[in-house]
Structure 1
Amino acid sequence: MLTKTYAKYKSYYADNLRLAMPIVVSQLGHTLVHLADSVIVGHFAGTLQLAAVSLVNSIFMLILVLGIGIAYGLTPLIAQENGKKNYNECGRLLSNSLVINFITAVFLYAFVHFGTLTMIDHIGQTPQVVAYAKPYLGYLAVSIIPLMIFQTFKQFAEGLGFTKQAMFVSIWGNVINVILGVIFVKGMFGIAPMGVKGVGLSTLIDRILMASVMSVYVMRSQYFKIYIRKFKLGFDKIKAIKIIKIGAPVAMQYAFEISAFSGAAILIGTIGAVEQAAHQVAINLAAVTYMMASGIASAATIKTGNNFGKGDLKDLRRSAIASYHVILLFMSTTAIFFTFANSILPYIYTEDPAVIGIAAQLLIIAGFFQLFDGTQVVGLGVLRGMGDVNIPTIITFIAYWIIGIPLGYLLGITLDMGVNGIWYGLTFGLLTASLLLFIRFQHRTKLLIRTYAEKKST
């Protein structure tokens, strides 16, 4: 049985992984920035400032994924137009996406600067944690603008199947971020110790450099000349609507999931700073595997978009199912790793025994939700490739905000199960999303196959 399945999908495994691996590394870049921030602060600035990183990342990630989601609307459209060999349309889409993403970035910065920095005082968090959090959040707010420029050119290149370039930019960006972060936080080479705000400054510098390098590469590389012949900075209402019709629902999908985890972090913050720091450790590690799964899902979007553009539904389904197989194997491996290394991994972040003890428990729960987290993000990726984004958005809202967070509150706060109970609620939300999205994929692809068959017969 397994041998027969492997033979059937072997070529799809190879194609998907070849496309996915650079995206995985690139996607990890976003998470590794925050992971590096947590590690540096945890070792050089202490538990209170680590809790501040947890609070800021929980709030900022929600804002960040709104921007990333809008930018992501470009990728399936580029993949579909490339599949149809409409090269000039790719350049027009890029120019409109750049304008949309810049406007989005300015709006998100203003939202953080004038709204979130004030709101953070009134959500029941430890006052010392809030005091450390504010300057860090201020730097991250400014970094949204260069990040969205980077995302524009990254999503364009990846939609065309050029995935290695963003990977290399992300790798070098993270190296620079870590080096500068240690220098600023610890205080080296005559610079006064900056604490947690030092990692905010290093992240801003890193993202400015990444945006500069990626934009210059795309605009000057010979690989993209055929695609950017019609690139002209401007705004076309019809093309902008096409991008937003996909980007806005994707942003909401990200927002519903990330806001659920952000909401969980705020609930945990009302329990205590130690629990909040432990949550940051466990969620950071889980986020690493999630972003790797997200890279596989992005590759699934590109392959699905290409096959959808060509009208090749047989390859579309097989490629998508192969992505499900890959993610199940990968997430099963990471689940086992989290379970058996649960008491060791927290030492990467901190030496506080209280934080380590709680984080070790959470990593066992994280081991279970790895499978559901991976399959739901692949399901979303495949459906995006077909332009199916509205129903999946409703599914994510139901899974996280009708089921996940209320159940987490019931178990964690009402029934006094603490941080573990909140995580059980999140796990059940992920399970719900995973199952409903797979059902949607099966229904959608089988309906398309029937529709294409009827068209051919008439």
Structure 2
Amino acid sequence: MNQTFSKKGKIKQLLIILIPILITQLAMYSMSFFDTTMSGHYSSKDLAGVAIGSSLWMPVFTGLSGILLSITPIVAQLIGGKKRDQVASSVIQGIYLAVAMAIIVIISGSFALTPVLNGMSLEAEVYATARDYLIALSFGMIPLFIYSVLRSFIDALGKTRVTMMITLLTLPINVIFNYLLIYGKLGFPELGGVGAGYATAITYWVITVISIVIIHKQMPFSGFGIFQTFYRISLGKWKEILVIGVPIGFSIFFETSIFAAVTLFMSEFDTATIAAHQAALNFSSFLYMIPLSISMALTIVVGFEVGANRLKDAKEYSWIGVSIAVLMAFVCGVILLFFRPEVAGIYTKDPMVIKLTAQFLIFAIFFQLSDAIQASVQGALRGYKDVNITFIMSLISYWIIGLPVGYYLANHTNWGAFGYWIGLIIGLAAGAVCLSSRLIFIQRKRLNAKSAI
């Protein structure tokens, strides 16, 4: 990254970092997208099973990997402050922590999976597919968590095109193994939706190995000597990562887990409604990769400027990013409004599921604006390393406002299953307002403190 001196220069720099992140995020999410759609074309029960499995897994993964996202602002500020010699130890300690977290998840999941699924009123085939899909996915958890750290390091250097290329190279592997293992082609076992879990686990291993090789051999990454020195476990460094990362992880978890909670509550509806809800939610999450990518890019550029004590530049970057996110949300909303049936047809051939999915997608349009604001603002706040209040705001807006309102509308009005989506929209809107207020406060506080020196 380089210092910029004009708004045009900042927009150009932000886009240079953002576009590869966006392509990477879309490609990463495409793994879940292809898991869901290819399973849906195998059978509607496999679609429901894989969708439920994904809904249970994604909050866990995004929440815990969110902790590891703290590597991005840590490294960005170290580089902005010209402390390159401290980067390698931070990254290695992040890897140690990632492995520990993955092992804890696998052990915890072995005890929690059956009780959680038993608490849902699922048909036997849907239950079996969801359980076996998650078991298959667990074989790729350790490399996936390691990759989260490696990617955060690469992105913090502003070399987001590298992670883009790695992901694009491995995405076809996921699709090919999905085809072979879901449908049983070329002598492979026909596993249905469960095969998607194994295909994704294989892809996680490939993407991690490629990242390690590039960081070890290619400049500028090899210049940091990430894998050239053995570092003992440092609980002090773990504490630094966790102090920043835990609030980030919880903020992401509160947002993503609310969708899993809604899925649990919606298990009382029939399989067609569950499948339609999950298909619409899957596509909405796909679109969410746009504001999420802007958020990640803002963490990098804002962190870099804050580390260099250029607070006016950090502020300008923040609002440029939010403006881009809102513009993209408007464009996506318009496209979704006119192509809902076509989007629904991507997931299934069942006429009833297509009709219900198209109806759910109406509400997904209203997700876009609130998501655009709250995600991009969170990214800017992480660049300032301001994460604790953000986590509290996320808890309140999603779990104290969004879910209760959704539950009431779904069970005490005529909205039915759509009531949960209305509640989610209200929660997202509340989060957007609160987080924007926090960003304005932090920017004023930092600038005033600098002026007083």
Which TM-score band (shorter chain)?
Answer: over 0.9
What's the counterpart of residue 253 of structure 1? 251
Residue of structure 2 aligned with 1:149, choices 146, 152, 156: 146
**1:320 aligns to 2:314 (yes or no):** no
RMSD, matched Cα:
1.4
1:375 to 373, 381, 391: 373
Among 38, 44, 63, the residue aligned to 1:47: 44
Give the deviation of 1:231 after TM superposition: 4.7
| Aligned pairs (5 A) from 1:65-84 | 65-84=62-81
Q: Deviations over 1:65-124 (max 9, x none)?
A: 122112101100000000001001111101110101110011111122221234212223
Residue 8 of structure 1: how far off its partner (Å): 7.1
Pairing partner for 2:188 from 187, 191, 194: 191
Alpha-carbon distance in 2 for matches of 1:8, 1:35: 39
The percent of aligned pairs where both chains have the same amino acid is 28
Q: Which residue of 2 aligns with 1:163?
A: 160
Given that 1:26 and 1:171 are in contact with CA atoms closer than 8 Å, whether structure 2 keeps it comes out as: yes
Which of 229, 236, 239 is 1:238 aligned to? 236
Mapped partners of 1:438, 1:211: distance in 2: 35
State the distance in 2 between where 1:35 and 1:205 align. Answer: 16
* Secondary structure class of the residue paired with 1:343: helix
Letter in 2 for 1:97: G
Q: Which residue of 2 aligns with 1:3?
A: none
Structure 1 distance, partners of 2:229, 2:402, is 43
Give the match for residue 282 of structure 1: 280
For residues 217-228 of structure 1, what are the structure 2 equivalents within 5 Å? Answer: 217-228=214-225
Amino acid at match of 1:254: I
Letter in 1 for 2:52: L
Per the TM alignment, residue 269 of structure 1 is displaced from its structure 2 partner at its CA by 1.9
Amino acid at match of 1:298: M
* Worse overlay, 128-137 or 99-108: 128-137
Aligned residue for 2:102?
105
Alpha-carbon distance between aligned partners in 2 of 1:117 and 1:10, rounded to the nearest angstrom:
54
Distance 2:322 2:69 in 1: 21
Equivalent residue letter for 2:343: L
Q: Which AA in structure 2 matches 1:431?
A: A
Q: How does 1:427-438 map to 2 (within 5 A)?
A: 427-438=425-436
* In the alignment, structure 1 residue 128 sits paired with structure 2 residue 125: yes
CA distance in 2, matches of 1:36, 1:67: 23
CA distance in 1, matches of 2:124, 2:191: 19
TM-score by length of 1: 0.95
Determine whether 1:365 maps to 2:353: no
Unaligned 5+ segments in structure 1 are 1-6
Equivalent residue letter for 2:91: L
Partner Cα distance (2:189, 2:393) in 1: 49
Q: Residues 408 and 423 of structure 1 are in contact (CA less than 8 Å); yes or no, is this contact kept in structure 2?
A: yes
Indicate conservation of the 8 Å contact 1:320/1:382, yes or no.
yes
- 2:220 aligned counterpart, secondary structure: helix
Compute the displacement of 1:172 (Å).
1.9
Deviations 1:22-52 (A, max 9, x none): 1112222332111000111111x21111010
Match 1:93 to one of 77, 90, 93: 90
Which residue identity lines up with residue 69 of structure 2 in the other structure?
Y
In structure 2, C-alpha distance between the alignment counterparts of 1:285 and 1:122, rounded to whole Å: 26
Q: Distance in 2 between matches of 1:110 and 1:448?
A: 43
1:124 partner SS:
coil
Q: TM-score with structure 2 length normalisation?
A: 0.96
Q: In structure 2, what is the Cα distance between the partners aligned to 1:58 and 1:368?
A: 21
Task: Give the conservation status (yes or no) of the 8 Å contact 2:410–2:419.
Answer: yes
Q: Note closer, same or farther for the CA distance 1:117–1:228 as it changes in structure 2 (3 Å cut).
A: farther
Q: Do 1:146 and 1:207's aligned partners in 2 also have CA atoms closer than 8 Å?
A: yes
Query: Among 208, 213, 219, which residue is 2:210 paired with?
Result: 213
Give the SS at the match of 2:407. helix
Provide the C-alpha distance between the structure 1 equivalents of 2:207 and 2:392, rounded to a whole number of angstroms.
Answer: 34
CA gap of 1:145–1:156, structure 2 versus 1, over 3 A, is: same
Q: Is the 8 A contact 1:17 1:296 kept in 2?
A: no
State the distance in 1 between where 2:332 and 2:362 align. Answer: 11
- How far off its partner does 1:62 sit? 1.3
Structure 1 pair 233/220, CA: closer, same or farther in 2 (3 Å)?
Answer: farther
Please name the residue that 2:382 is paired with. Answer: 384
SS in 2 for 1:344: helix
